[in-house]
Structure 1
Amino acid sequence: MKYVMFIVGLLVVYLLALLVSTDRKKIKYRPIIVMIVIELVLCFILLNTKFGAFIAKALSDFFANLLATAGAGINFVFGGLANKGQAPFFLNVLLPIIFIAIIIGILQYFRILPLIIRGIGWLLSKVNGLGKLESYNAVAAAIVGQGEVFITVKDQLSRLPKNRLYTLCASSMSTVSMSIVGSYMKMIEPKYVVTAIVLNLFSGFIIVHIVNPYSVDKEDDILEINEAAKESFFEMLTEYILLGFKMAVIIAAMLIGFVALMAAINNIFSFFFHITFQQILGYIFSPLAFVMGIPWHDAVQAGNIMATKLVTNEFVAMIDLTKVQHHLSARTIGIISVFLVSFANFSSIGNIAGATKGISDKQGNQVAQFGLKLLYGATLVSVLSAIIVGVVI
């Protein structure tokens, strides 16, 4: 049955992407098929082999050690509060982002990350049928962050045509920043976080090939990376510490606002219609959950979580998943976990449009114009990755 649903799922995603395709005649099917095969192989390795289990455990242990190390600083400042068991999510899940941001800053400072990003990007460009810039951007967005990635290609960004700009923005919305991966691993199984990050790289290119097909001419296939101004080591540390803290506070503020707003809307709907808003969304998204390979008896609950992620963010949805996962099958948890690991939500439209507008007003306005199409495509990326996982587990 799962193999039938896999084929059905691929067809549904293809048709949904085809609905908004800019030029159906230019779709290149060969790289799409190649990348689907690569996804299946990588997903099987990561989830069904000892080697994959070793990789997932190694990364999980790595981030667990980072979070434990971050705890030393957190306990020093908030030790009394933590010991009383108050505000554990902010202290244990969000504040460690500061230390992970420092690690990323150090790797950037010593030019280790740029080397890794270029290497992986080069490998991707050999199979994705797109340019070097698109390949670099997809990897860089998953490491340095959704908005920060545009700064590294700011000179080239201002000269890009609309189709290539869409691809860069889609990559940023379809991935997640490495600085918050550790936080995800405290809420969902690390193996699904790792799998989602890998799959989303390829799923993003697959959806782009259908939604936004184009070819990059050889003379335009160049990559111009803007190096950050040289600063002292301690200036860099200060910058990344503040960046990490800013991220933690912004996420906390968004969680407070979104969770409270969702509770208020649920109360209103429950009072007037005797059903919560999230339950309504669950019914709306349940067919899509079923297409992803989730058993029908879990489809409404899964659709609820998927919709919550779309209208709020992945953190709110992950919190909801932790509350109800004991009612769900292991298969459902695996598929929905992979779906949640991305920045595909409405707030990301503003984040990406703001980041590009800070570099080029013209390009920022362009992003705002195709913002909903961007979210639509990025959501299909998450759906496709979840479908791949559904046929493997």
Structure 2
Amino acid sequence: MKYIIGLIGLIVVIGLAWVASNDKKNVKIRPIITMVVLQFILGFILLNTGVGNFLVGGISNGFQALLKCAAEGVDFVFGGLMNPGKSTFFINVLLPIVFISALIGILQHWKILPFVIKYIGLALSKVNGMGKLESYNAVASAILGQSEVFISVKKQLGLLPEHRLYTLCASAMSTVSMSIVGSYMVLIKPKYVVTALVLNLFGGFIISSIINPYTVTEDQDILVVQNEKKQTFFEVLGEYIMDGFKVAITVGAMLIGFVAIIAMINAIFKGVFGISFQDMLGYVFSPFAFLMGVPLNESIKAASVMATKLVSNEFVAMTTLSTGNLGLSVRSTAIVSVFLVSFANFSSIGIISGAVKGLNEEQGNVVARFGLKLLYGATLVSVLTATVVGLIV
């Protein structure tokens, strides 16, 4: 039965993307089928095989080792503020971002990451039927982040037509930056984080190629990556450390605001309607959760977490899921977990349009105009990933 529901879910996702397509007649079926098959193969390997367990375990252990190193620095500065036996979200989850960001800066300075990003992107361009720039941008977004990635292609930013700009922004919203991945692994199982990262990469191409189909000619398919200004090792290290701290502070501030606002709205809804705002969202989104593979009796609770992520951010939703109070089954937890691993929420519209506007004001205004469509597509990427996982686990 789960396979029938899952297949219907896949058809619904593809159908919802097709309805919003700019050019329905030019949607290329072959690359889409290829990438969907790759999603199933890679998802199965990562979740259900010894090789996948080894890979995920290795990545997880690597991040655990990095988080322990980060904890040394955090404890040195904030150790006296911690109460024994109690976990502090800002200290244990957010502040390690500073160290991971510093590490990314080192790998950038040593030209390791640019090499990896460029050639993985070139390999992907052979599979997805899109341009080198789009493929590079998708990989770079998953490592550098949804704001920083546009700096690396700013030479081409002002020359891009709207349809190519949409694809670049969709990739940025559908993925998550490597500096935050370790924080996710504290809240949900690492295997779900890794699986979502891989599947979202292909899912972003699938949904974009349906919503926004186009062909890049050979003379247009030129990848020019902006070289960063010449800096010493310690200049780069200091810059990335401060960037990581700014991210941690920003996420912390957003969590304070969103959690408080949701609590207030829940109280108002309970007082007026006798049901919380999150429960209401659960009822509205439960059909989608069911089509993703969540059992009907768990769909409302699962959908409320998914919807919370959409209207606030993934950290708020992951914190709710990590409490274990929802009583979800292992399969439902897997589906919800991979859905949460992306930047697809309303606040990302402002973040991405602001990042582009900072580099090119006119293009930033273009991004703002298709912001809701961007969120629509990025949310479908998360739904697609969750549906594939629902068929696998």
Give the alignment's TM-score, normalised by structure 1: 0.99
Q: Is the 8 A contact 1:188 1:337 kept in 2?
A: yes
The 2-side partners of 1:231 and 1:289 are apart by: 48
Counterpart Cα distance in 2 of 1:258 and 1:75: 27
Which residue of structure 2 aligns with residue 317 of structure 1? 317
**1:143–1:179 CA contact under 8 A, matched in 2:** yes
Once the 2 structures are TM-superposed, how far is the Cα of residue 6 of structure 1 from its aligned partner?
2.0
SS at match of 2:223: coil
Match of residue 126 from structure 1: 126
State the alpha-carbon separation in 2 of the partners of residues 314 and 50 from structure 1.
29
Q: CA deviation at 1:80?
A: 1.1
For the pair 1:191 / 2:217, whether they are aligned, the reply is: no
Asked if 1:272 is matched to 2:248, the reply is no
* Equivalent residue number for residue 78 of structure 1: 78
RMSD of aligned Cα (Å): 0.9
1:13 aligns with 2:13: yes
Q: How many residues align?
A: 393
Q: Which residue of 1 aligns with 2:307?
A: 307
Alignment of 1:1-393 (within 5 A): 1-84=1-84, 88-324=88-324, 327-393=327-393
SS at 1:183 equivalent = helix
Higher mean alpha-carbon deviation, 316-325 vs 168-177, is at 316-325
Would the aligned equivalents of 2:301 and 2:326 in 1 still touch at CA under 8 Å?
no
For residue 67 of structure 2, give the secondary structure of its aligned residue in structure 1: helix
Q: Percent identity?
A: 61
Supply the distance in 2 between the matched residues of 1:56 and 1:220 (Cα, whole angstroms): 37
Deviation for aligned residue 1:83: 4.1
Unmatched runs of 5 consecutive residues or more in structure 2: none
TM-score by length of 2: 0.99
CA distance in 1 between partners of 2:49 and 2:78 (Å): 41
Q: Secondary structure at the match of 1:310?
A: helix
1:351-375 Cα distance to aligned partner (Å, 9 max, x none) = 0000000111110000000000000
- Write the distance in 2 (CA, Å) between the matches of 1:83 and 1:76: 15
Give the distance between the partners of 1:122 and 1:3, measured in 2 at CA: 34
Please state how far the C-alpha of 1:157 moved relative to its aligned partner. Answer: 0.9
Mapped to 2, the partners of 1:193 and 1:319 lie a distance apart of 14
Q: Which amino acid aligns with 1:40?
A: F
1:297, 1:122 → 2: CA distance?
44
Distance 1:60 1:116 in 2: 20
- The answer to whether the 8 A contact 1:200-1:385 is kept is yes
The AA in structure 1 aligned to 2:122 is W
Displacement of 1:87 in angstroms is 6.2
Deviation (angstroms), 1:323: 2.1
